[in-house]
């Protein structure tokens, strides 16, 4: 998971499950029998959702890249070795510090 902190990981997992369930409920309402056999409104709704998803994923990736670079600049300005960075990052991870507060945390892509 691309978040740190046990509580935050649990909340993100729960939110993902809730979004999945909400999508399933909405999907059942979009594809109506009166639109059979082509289901144009359902197909359009799915296409719009896929387009929005692609945009969100690209923006999210851009933010992760920007945040990783920002954190790297801050850590480099501190002048500490890679080994010390890893030690401090692991130490903060063991203290259950979230990704937003742990300057040594890097988002994976």
pTM of the model: 0.82
Q: Average the pLDDT over 82-86 and give the result.
A: 93
Is residue 40 included in any domain, yes or no? yes
Look at residue 106 and tell me if it is in a domain: no
Residue 22 falls inside a structural domain: yes
**What is the tally of structural domains in the chain?**
1
Determine, yes or no, domain membership for 83: yes
31: nearest Cα among 49, 19, 16:
49
**Does residue 22 register a pLDDT over 80?**
yes
Asked if residue 36 belongs to a domain, the reply is yes
Q: Is the pLDDT of residue 102 over 80?
A: yes
User: String of b and e for 73-93 (b: at least 16 CB within 10 Å)?
Assistant: eebeeeeeeeeebeebbeebe
Is position 108 within any domain?
no
Question: pLDDT tens-digit profile of 29-81?
Answer: 999 999 999 999 999 999 999 999 999 999 999 999 999 999 999 999 999 99
Question: Which residue range forms the structural domain that includes residue 82?
Answer: 6-94
Question: Is residue 99 one of the residues assigned to a domain?
Answer: no
- Token pair 């890097």: residue: 106
């Amino acid at each position: 998971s691309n978040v740190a902190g046990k509580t935050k990981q649990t909340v993100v997992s729960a939110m993902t499950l809730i979004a999945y369930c909400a999508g399933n409920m909405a999907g059942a309402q979009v594809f109506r029998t009166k639109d059979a056999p082509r289901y144009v409104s359902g197909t359009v709704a799915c296409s719009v959702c896929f387009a929005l998803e692609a945009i969100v994923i690209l923006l999210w990736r851009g933010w992760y890249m920007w945040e990783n670079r920002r954190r790297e600049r801050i850590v480099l300005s501190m002048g500490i070795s890679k080994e010390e960075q890893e030690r401090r990052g692991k130490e903060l991870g063991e203290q259950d510090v979230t990704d937003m507060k742990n300057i040594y945390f890097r988002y994976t892509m």
